[in-house]
Structure 1
Amino acid sequence: MDEVPIGVTNLKRFKKMPIYVVEEHNDALQFIYAAIGGKKLPMEGTTLLHFDAHPDMLIDRKLKGEDARSGRKVLPLLQIENWIVPAAAAGYIGRVVWLRPPWAKQFSDGTRAIQVGDDAHTGLLRVDSKEPYYMSDALYSSNLVNSRKFELTVAELSAAEEINKIEDLASSLNISQPYVLDIDLDFFSTGNPFLSLFQSINLYDRLEPIFSFKLPENDDVETIEKVNESREQQIEELENLFQHLEEYGDLTEYNGIRSDLFHKVSDLVSVVSTEAERLNVTPDWWAIYAGGCTRDQGGLPYHISSEEEIRNLIKSFSKLLRTLPTPVLVTVSRSTDDGYCPPDQVDLIQSLVLQTLQNMYETDDPYLYYLNVNT
């Protein structure tokens, strides 16, 4: 990105670079906003260098654009999968560089410009991107107001890459100060919490034909809008069905249309309820719905790394950081309570990441926000 972020020449400096460690990834955004408020980061156009097994670049389908631009008031409205784009909509983040491990492929590698703004008819936050990642959540709009452009660059970082490859990668990323270094520990080893939901009946696979949809064959606006509208109706119907299940436990009194989708979900309810009775548990229908929402486009990445793989990825991570300028601040997300970073590996990965950072930068002891958040 060639433009100089607004206010970049008047920035203050931290005495020592802070490292903030959170549990849920969206909690990292408060520290970025605080740094902007403290004039340590520019008011507009910051680059986010994002190491993660997931892009975290969805949008809450019910989030209004005006709420995304409301500063810190938006923070309680965000979740782990949708905290970055609202910050781009507000102008705080102008560029996202997603470094992905080899097993995460939600976006193709390369750079693209994305417009984010308010859908002119609903006021809901939407993007003009026609990529499957956004189409699958019906987040496309061809008619945006109050829009801003941000740049998304996606690249793969593999384990123990040779230094010349690392240098080529660093050169292609073109990272300049000031920027935020953001690390999710599940970059190094990635679980999928939904795989354990009624695993004995392969529930995660059973959800695919219910939640999947067909991508448009053409990318002209008219075709995209029709597919987007159809997908939106599918998601809303599924949400209504599972909300009813959460409240009543079955679909006997469901007042909605008895569509093909209704019958598919009814068949699923029968199988799940039988298995739940056998296990003497109550189905968590919202968790099942959440799992289903990840089943479009093949499902979530899953790769439990060996300790050797983790250490080799740490080496590549370290080599890459040594070729880049020093960030203004670092945010680290554990992502283990929700099952994305394996609980039996998270402490090892965290210690290796923090040790790497402390060896490389002049920094205070990390602020372990995740230990203080509930006290």
Structure 2
Amino acid sequence: MPKSSGESSLQPLKRFKKIPVYVVEEHNEALQFIYSAIGGKKLPCEGTTLLHFDSHPDMLIDRKLKGEDARAGRNLLPLLQIENWIVPAAAAGYLGRVVWLRPPWATQLADGTRAVRVGDHPRTGLLRVDCKEPYYMSDALYSNELINERKFTLTVAEVPNPTQQKSDDELQKLVDTIDLSQPYVLDIDLDFFSTANPFLSLYDSIKLYDLLEPIFNFELPENDDVFTVEKVVESRERQLAELEHIFEHLDEHGNLLTYGGGKTELYTKVSALVDAVTKEAEKLGDAPDWFAVFAGGCTRDQGGLPHHISTEQEMRDMIKESLLPLLLRLPAPVLVTVARSSDDGYCPKHQVDLIQSLVLQILKEVYDIDDPALHYLTVNTN
């Protein structure tokens, strides 16, 4: 567990002989190496900065995650998924600052710097944040009431596309915004350079992703006063809970014939969707993957996930002309984590190996790194 800020700030840190690089498949698997570095006194016990290159913030919270579980050290790791691994580490105090560097096509969070409170909802014990941005409200993760709280600083900034011909002054402005002056972790998701929305291809002949939008739709509150926001979030929580219940029934039974919940407006909308999906699945000689349908629906709020398949030249330019000059202006990290994100379709499979080789080559040019530990080759091999 993190120590007090006074104790952790005085504790001398050990150094790696060379900067380790860990390559994982699913992005949440990177956190184990950060925790190991903290345990090995290579990173401070609290307040580490995460410099996060990604087409996705990965800063949601599992709506059912308890705050006490977030503070349970490595016992937290099996509870995490790719979209929700960062904030729980901040809730435990291990991360004190997160810098999300986004490509131009990723706009899930507004640019700028803000302080975010994260802690336990006093009545449920569930982990929540006090951030009113749509990214959090649409997942019913906002609460103004928090106990066992921590604060972390969130900075969001765009890494310009090389074709925008940014000047050295503008690059320096980005460096100043990042403002790294303490031990930090460099974290790169390869889908930063080319990203797909895998749900677009799910029963695409019936345009399922579009059909999910009116079912999972979320309306932002008219104003951002605490009372209004909390009422909207409570309503959203009920909506998501009902949809989860419906789709759990579908996943178990394949239909809604024995569904015991209320025949609400949401139920009616999903029933119509069930008919369309079932017919399409039968054409494909398959059974519907209702869990995937629900997961896709949960991404339909606020315009859906980013989708930008880069050309090979675009990828090379981004790595050589955006990533490289930026890293050259920043201090060296304590360690580097790299996520492939290809098995789940976010980084296109036909591009991921090339992107990985180019990124690792740049890391070797900039830093004195150890041979990359290809963690993804030792797990998920079945």
TM-score when scaled to structure 2? 0.96
- 5+ unaligned residues in a row in structure 1: which ranges? none
Whichever residue aligns with residue 43 of structure 1, its letter is: C
Specify the alignment match of 2:342 in structure 1: 336
Structure 2 counterpart of 1:51, from 37, 53, 66: 53
Whichever residue aligns with residue 83 of structure 1, its letter is: W
Specify the alignment match of 1:372 in structure 2: 378
Specify the alignment match of 2:70 in structure 1: 68
- Aligned-partner Cα distance in 2 for 1:22–1:279: 33
Residue deviations 1:101-131 (CA, integer Å, cap 9, x gap) = 0000000100111100000000000001111
Q: How does 1:116-135 map to 2 (within 5 A)?
A: 116-135=118-137
Whichever residue aligns with residue 259 of structure 1, its letter is: T
Q: Is the contact made by 1:183 and 1:333 (CA closer than 8 Å) also made in structure 2?
A: yes
Specify the alignment match of 1:215 in structure 2: 220
Compared CA separation, residues 191 and 8, structure 1 to 2 (3 A) = farther
- Aligned-partner Cα distance in 1 for 2:114–2:182: 21
Q: Which secondary structure does the structure 2 equivalent of 1:113 belong to?
A: strand
Whichever residue aligns with residue 310 of structure 2, its letter is: S
Q: Is the contact made by 1:53 and 1:187 (CA closer than 8 Å) also made in structure 2?
A: yes
Specify the alignment match of 1:18 in structure 2: 20
Is 1:164 matched up with 2:169?
A: yes
Specify the alignment match of 2:269 in structure 1: 264
Specify the alignment match of 1:88 in structure 2: 90
Runs of 4+ in 1 over 6 A off after TM superposition: none
- Aligned-partner Cα distance in 2 for 1:4–1:68: 22
**How many residue pairs get matched?**
373
Q: How does 1:214-363 map to 2 (within 5 A)?
A: 214-314=219-319, 315-363=321-369
Q: How does 1:179-218 map to 2 (within 5 A)?
A: 179-218=184-223
Q: CA RMSD in A?
A: 1.2
Q: Which secondary structure does the structure 2 equivalent of 1:344 belong to?
A: helix
How far the C-alpha of 1:229 sits from its partner, in A, is: 0.6
Compared CA separation, residues 8 and 193, structure 1 to 2 (3 A) = farther
Specify the alignment match of 1:41 in structure 2: 43
Q: Which secondary structure does the structure 1 equivalent of 2:109 belong to?
A: coil
Whichever residue aligns with residue 125 of structure 1, its letter is: L
Whichever residue aligns with residue 251 of structure 1, its letter is: L
How far the C-alpha of 1:278 sits from its partner, in A, is: 1.8
Q: Is the contact made by 1:132 and 1:215 (CA closer than 8 Å) also made in structure 2?
A: yes
Compared CA separation, residues 8 and 158, structure 1 to 2 (3 A) = farther
Q: Which secondary structure does the structure 2 equivalent of 1:326 belong to?
A: coil
Q: Is the contact made by 1:8 and 1:41 (CA closer than 8 Å) also made in structure 2?
A: no
Q: Which secondary structure does the structure 1 equivalent of 2:96 belong to?
A: strand
Q: How does 1:89-104 map to 2 (within 5 A)?
A: 89-104=91-106
- Aligned-partner Cα distance in 2 for 1:279–1:347: 30
How far the C-alpha of 1:252 sits from its partner, in A, is: 1.2
Q: Which secondary structure does the structure 2 equivalent of 1:232 belong to?
A: helix
- Aligned-partner Cα distance in 1 for 2:61–2:124: 15
Q: Which secondary structure does the structure 2 equivalent of 1:137 belong to?
A: coil
Q: Is the contact made by 1:166 and 1:316 (CA closer than 8 Å) also made in structure 2?
A: no
Q: Which secondary structure does the structure 2 equivalent of 1:21 belong to?
A: strand
How far the C-alpha of 1:218 sits from its partner, in A, is: 1.1
How far the C-alpha of 1:374 sits from its partner, in A, is: 4.2
Q: Is the contact made by 1:128 and 1:140 (CA closer than 8 Å) also made in structure 2?
A: yes
Whichever residue aligns with residue 40 of structure 2, its letter is: G
- Aligned-partner Cα distance in 2 for 1:149–1:49: 17
- Aligned-partner Cα distance in 2 for 1:307–1:162: 24
Q: Which secondary structure does the structure 1 equivalent of 2:8 belong to?
A: coil
How far the C-alpha of 1:9 sits from its partner, in A, is: 5.3
How far the C-alpha of 1:270 sits from its partner, in A, is: 0.8
- Aligned-partner Cα distance in 2 for 1:4–1:158: 38
